A and B are shown apart, each in its own frame.
Chain A
């Protein structure tokens, strides 16, 4: 699915958080959103997945008008892995992932055999099969985030939004989660903090500063010393990593 976002404005209270952001994610593209803390990335993403109502703008998933369509209709096409939030009651991993089937269910419909198969597949993809009967709250942060990803996969979305999905996770979990998403071969829009990961996984990048798009292009075009310096107020040099052949960064304040 293709995502087109046009002229999104979000005010919270009297403050303008997101100013006129437009972007596009082509079919099966992995697009990254980078920028410093508080630049409006999360707010912008929330306005796309209907958690916040933007003051103006248009969001299209193919020809589905996201801002006007019902939550249910949107959630059948769009999956979201957000920043981790607290839960007060415990479910098993399997029950948690089964919740991903909610958008495809009528209120009184029961879970069918195929739903269990979809859940099983999502658990396999995220390497969680052994965790099926474990209690969700007893898991570590990285494991919890993988469960949330599995839930989103069970939702069978045609497009996925990730909001700093690898926050607080160790390197292995970061790579596991991003590769897993990449292998789904669907359109992805992800807010990321780690520039090396962004360079490695994203086909295209948008850099956001003070609620506006500051730069966009391929990772090589966006991740230049000048732009990084302007975004994060640090000195930065980029080089080609001799081992991975990927883009690497050396920072200094």
Chain B
């Protein structure tokens, strides 16, 4: 006779579903300024607790407080705010363009703007990002031409990628933005390899890998951690935890215990958790980890705690799986509002300047859109040639492709 009860499979569920009251009481949010700041050469053993806390700079009164504050001048913080406003305006325009049938697909970074925008500012020229599809802020906060991003989204005759890639899968070597794959997590381990090459060559450039909470479940995440820690690669490994992987809540990728940042502990990797909606905190943590990598002190794992305010993509409807009010209830607030309030509190900004800047950016985006549309949209106007479809598969076109191009009549 066995005294064992039949086993039961545990399947995690989010706290709430559509129709329920949003509930983030389970998200433990420490006070701004309360998390200490280790020296960059400190042993990861000394600050393991930072993987379970949240590094925050902006408090509820919009003051910048604690050991991670005071890193940006007024001017730099204003640029940060402008960068976030620009990418939000860009997203809004392109989302509408998709709704108008001008392209097939779009993905916003609504609510997550601080992460890519602030991280970009902490990098140096020649560093390389291996982004996911939600880091357009890495491009829009440089002087990369917005019109070229639109041309790519439209797959028009001026698309830098000649219509070969799904909208938003940008690529720019010059701007340190590796070609977005669309397959999840594959780029994370490539970032580690890029960084290893930098070390092999004796260079001083570093790499940044990007991944979402959901795709940390991929084996490529584990591979990345193994290679990065074994070879102490000069790489910053960024997990954007926006709570949702399409319709799947983050508990499916990691269960109920620990945090994504804590996954670094098994690899002896410095692991930090940061308020992803706090531009100043993101910048400070990015700067810390990038400096660490460039000083040959090895990789850092960072989890940005944020919330995906919009749908996963234009093909998604979140009202089917989460309460509509959940976004507003997100306890870390909106990154733009928070930095704006901080700059006003600091006497470096005003409501008027904010309204004017927002209007100016929206007008610039609109202007760029008009220019881009002169080169066509997905279904009308100038388009990449069918001949281009056969180019660039290999460096030199092999005989079989030459024959197929002929067969296609181009």
Bound together: no
